[in-house]
Amino acid sequence: MIIRRFTVNDAKTVIELNRAALAGTDAVPEDPAWDLDLHDIPSNYLMAGDFIVGIKASIVVAMGGFVLHPGSIAELKRLRVAPSFQRLGLGASLLLALEERALAAGASAAFAETTTVQWSAQRLYDAAGYEMIDRFENLGFQVLKYRKQLR
Protein backbone atom coordinates (compact mmCIF):
# COMPACT_ATOMS: atom_id res chain seq x y z
CA MET A 1 0.00 0.00 0.00
CA ILE A 2 1.30 3.43 -0.96
CA ILE A 3 0.46 6.14 1.54
CA ARG A 4 0.38 9.75 0.43
CA ARG A 5 -1.17 13.06 1.39
CA PHE A 6 -4.71 13.86 0.24
CA THR A 7 -5.01 15.90 -2.96
CA VAL A 8 -8.07 17.73 -4.28
CA ASN A 9 -8.51 14.95 -6.85
CA ASP A 10 -9.31 12.62 -3.94
CA ALA A 11 -12.23 14.74 -2.74
CA LYS A 12 -15.10 12.54 -3.95
CA THR A 13 -13.16 9.38 -3.31
CA VAL A 14 -12.71 9.91 0.42
CA ILE A 15 -16.40 10.66 0.88
CA GLU A 16 -17.28 7.43 -0.93
CA LEU A 17 -14.74 5.45 1.06
CA ASN A 18 -16.08 6.83 4.32
CA ARG A 19 -19.60 5.73 3.41
CA ALA A 20 -18.51 2.35 2.08
CA ALA A 21 -16.41 1.60 5.14
CA LEU A 22 -19.24 2.43 7.53
CA ALA A 23 -21.99 0.80 5.47
CA GLY A 24 -21.31 -2.57 7.04
CA THR A 25 -21.48 -1.21 10.58
CA ASP A 26 -24.27 0.26 12.68
CA ALA A 27 -22.27 3.45 13.15
CA VAL A 28 -23.86 5.75 10.57
CA PRO A 29 -25.56 8.72 12.27
CA GLU A 30 -28.93 9.96 11.06
CA ASP A 31 -27.63 13.55 11.08
CA PRO A 32 -27.03 14.40 7.38
CA ALA A 33 -24.17 16.71 8.41
CA TRP A 34 -22.20 13.92 10.04
CA ASP A 35 -19.50 13.82 7.34
CA LEU A 36 -19.31 17.50 6.43
CA ASP A 37 -15.68 17.72 7.53
CA LEU A 38 -14.77 15.47 4.60
CA HIS A 39 -16.29 17.90 2.12
CA ASP A 40 -13.53 20.43 2.79
CA ILE A 41 -10.43 18.53 3.80
CA PRO A 42 -7.99 21.34 2.96
CA SER A 43 -9.69 23.65 5.49
CA ASN A 44 -10.62 21.07 8.08
CA TYR A 45 -7.45 18.98 8.09
CA LEU A 46 -4.56 20.25 6.00
CA MET A 47 -4.56 23.72 7.59
CA ALA A 48 -4.09 22.29 11.07
CA GLY A 49 -2.98 18.72 10.64
CA ASP A 50 -2.89 16.25 7.82
CA PHE A 51 -5.01 13.82 5.82
CA ILE A 52 -3.63 10.79 4.05
CA VAL A 53 -4.88 8.05 1.75
CA GLY A 54 -3.62 4.51 1.22
CA ILE A 55 -3.57 3.30 -2.36
CA LYS A 56 -3.19 -0.22 -3.66
CA ALA A 57 -3.04 -0.71 -7.45
CA SER A 58 -4.95 2.51 -8.19
CA ILE A 59 -7.63 1.71 -5.63
CA VAL A 60 -8.00 3.94 -2.59
CA VAL A 61 -8.22 1.37 0.17
CA ALA A 62 -7.66 3.40 3.33
CA MET A 63 -7.73 6.94 4.66
CA GLY A 64 -7.39 8.97 7.81
CA GLY A 65 -6.46 12.35 9.14
CA PHE A 66 -5.60 14.30 12.25
CA VAL A 67 -6.12 17.78 13.60
CA LEU A 68 -3.50 19.22 15.91
CA HIS A 69 -5.13 20.87 18.94
CA PRO A 70 -3.63 23.31 21.45
CA GLY A 71 -1.44 21.44 23.91
CA SER A 72 0.16 19.45 21.08
CA ILE A 73 -2.62 16.85 21.07
CA ALA A 74 -3.47 15.26 17.73
CA GLU A 75 -7.06 14.18 17.23
CA LEU A 76 -7.15 11.24 14.83
CA LYS A 77 -10.24 11.17 12.65
CA ARG A 78 -11.89 9.27 9.82
CA LEU A 79 -9.56 6.31 9.91
CA ARG A 80 -11.21 4.00 7.40
CA VAL A 81 -10.34 0.86 5.45
CA ALA A 82 -12.42 -0.26 2.46
CA PRO A 83 -14.52 -3.34 3.27
CA SER A 84 -12.78 -5.60 0.74
CA PHE A 85 -9.40 -4.73 2.23
CA GLN A 86 -10.06 -5.09 5.93
CA ARG A 87 -8.19 -7.59 8.15
CA LEU A 88 -5.03 -7.14 6.09
CA GLY A 89 -3.22 -4.86 8.49
CA LEU A 90 -3.82 -1.76 6.37
CA GLY A 91 -5.50 0.09 9.23
CA ALA A 92 -2.46 -0.46 11.44
CA SER A 93 -0.16 0.81 8.68
CA LEU A 94 -2.26 3.90 8.18
CA LEU A 95 -2.48 4.55 11.93
CA LEU A 96 1.31 4.33 12.21
CA ALA A 97 1.71 6.75 9.31
CA LEU A 98 -0.69 9.18 10.98
CA GLU A 99 1.20 8.96 14.27
CA GLU A 100 4.49 9.64 12.49
CA ARG A 101 3.05 12.67 10.74
CA ALA A 102 1.48 13.91 13.97
CA LEU A 103 4.84 13.59 15.72
CA ALA A 104 6.52 15.49 12.91
CA ALA A 105 3.89 18.20 13.27
CA GLY A 106 4.74 18.56 16.96
CA ALA A 107 2.16 16.34 18.65
CA SER A 108 3.09 14.78 21.96
CA ALA A 109 -0.05 12.67 22.27
CA ALA A 110 -2.91 11.45 20.11
CA PHE A 111 -6.50 10.67 20.84
CA ALA A 112 -9.27 9.08 18.81
CA GLU A 113 -12.93 8.36 19.26
CA THR A 114 -14.88 5.40 18.01
CA THR A 115 -18.16 3.76 18.92
CA THR A 116 -19.00 0.59 20.76
CA VAL A 117 -20.24 -0.99 17.52
CA GLN A 118 -16.98 -0.43 15.64
CA TRP A 119 -15.16 -3.52 16.84
CA SER A 120 -12.34 -3.37 14.32
CA ALA A 121 -11.45 0.18 15.36
CA GLN A 122 -11.40 -0.82 19.02
CA ARG A 123 -9.10 -3.74 18.23
CA LEU A 124 -6.88 -1.47 16.17
CA TYR A 125 -6.43 1.11 18.93
CA ASP A 126 -5.95 -1.56 21.59
CA ALA A 127 -3.25 -3.27 19.52
CA ALA A 128 -1.49 0.04 18.81
CA GLY A 129 -1.10 0.85 22.49
CA TYR A 130 -3.99 3.25 22.97
CA GLU A 131 -5.74 3.39 26.31
CA MET A 132 -9.49 3.89 26.62
CA ILE A 133 -9.91 7.00 28.79
CA ASP A 134 -13.56 7.94 28.45
CA ARG A 135 -16.97 6.70 27.39
CA PHE A 136 -19.93 8.96 26.61
CA GLU A 137 -23.03 9.24 24.43
CA ASN A 138 -23.17 11.29 21.24
CA LEU A 139 -25.69 11.27 18.35
CA GLY A 140 -27.26 8.17 19.83
CA PHE A 141 -24.02 6.19 19.98
CA GLN A 142 -21.87 5.05 22.85
CA VAL A 143 -18.54 6.70 22.07
CA LEU A 144 -15.20 5.39 23.31
CA LYS A 145 -12.27 7.77 23.61
CA TYR A 146 -8.75 6.39 23.28
CA ARG A 147 -5.45 8.13 24.00
CA LYS A 148 -1.78 7.37 23.42
CA GLN A 149 1.34 9.23 24.47
CA LEU A 150 3.49 9.66 21.37
CA ARG A 151 6.61 11.11 23.00
Partner 1 sequence: VSDQRPMLLLVEDDHSLRGILELALTDEGFDVIVANNGTSALTRLDADAAQFKGLITDIRLGKGESGWDVAHRARELVSGIPVVYMSGDSAGEWSANGVPESVMLQKPFVIAQLITAITTLLNQASNATALSDMPTASQIGGNR
Residues that bind partner 1 (CB under 8 A): 9-10, 12-13, 16-17, 19-20, 53, 55-61, 82, 84
Whose Cβ is closer to partner 1: residue 22's or residue 105's?
Answer: 22
Q: Is the dihedral of CA 2, 12, 79, 90 positive or negative?
A: negative
CA quadruple 68, 118, 96, 134: dihedral sign: positive
Query: Closest approach of Cβ 13 to partner 1, in Å?
Result: 5
> For residues 29-38, b (16+ Cβ closer than 10 Å) or e, as one string?
eeeeeebebb
Give me the least distance between CB of 23 and partner 1, in Å please: 8
Least Å distance between CB 71 and partner 1?
Answer: 34
The bridge status of strand 73-81 relative to strand 109-115 is: parallel
Q: Which is nearer to partner 1, 24 or 42 (CB)?
A: 24
What's the burial of 2, exposed, middle or buried (CB within 10 Å: 0-12/13-18/19+)? exposed
C-beta closer to partner 1: residue 13 or 72? 13
Using DSSP, state whether 149 is helix, strand or coil: strand
Cβ at position 28, least distance to partner 1 in Å: 14
